Amino acid sequence: MATQITFTGLTTEEFESLVSACVLKAILNSFNSLPPKNELENSILTRQETAKLLSISLPTLHDYTKRGLIKAHRLGSKVRYKREDLEIALKHIRISIK
């Protein structure tokens, strides 16, 4: 059941400004809760960015991915790599070399 609220003593302009202020506050709170843009950009890498980061060629990256040394993620037809997965793979490779 809908409740009806009646405002007295407010003009239309005053009411609009109150609603606008509340909406703006809610939008700003939503944006403030998002992680910074550079964190999002750095967490998912393209094939080129990954190869450059690891100092390997694209065919080598493809080979490592096929062999399961590095975990890839498909986004539609695109292949992406998570920075966290790369760090885990590098730690695993370093441990197995020792």
With cut-offs at 50, 70 and 90, classify the pLDDT of residue 65: very high
pLDDT tens-digit readout, 2-58: 788 777 788 889 888 888 888 888 877 776 776 665 655 558 999 999 999 888 999
How far apart are alpha carbons 24 and 30 in whole angstroms?
10
**Mean pLDDT (whole number) for 72-88:** 92
Buried b (16+ CB within 10 A) or exposed e, 38-63: eeeeeeebebeebbeebeeeeeebbe
Neighbours of 79 (CB within 10 A): 15
The correct answer on CATH 1.10.1660.10 for the domain covering 43-97 is yes
> What is the token pair recorded at 80?
């992406």
Residue 92 confidence class, pLDDT cut points 50, 70, 90: confident
Q: Where are the domains of the chain?
A: 43-97
86 contacts 53 by C-beta, under 8 angstroms: yes
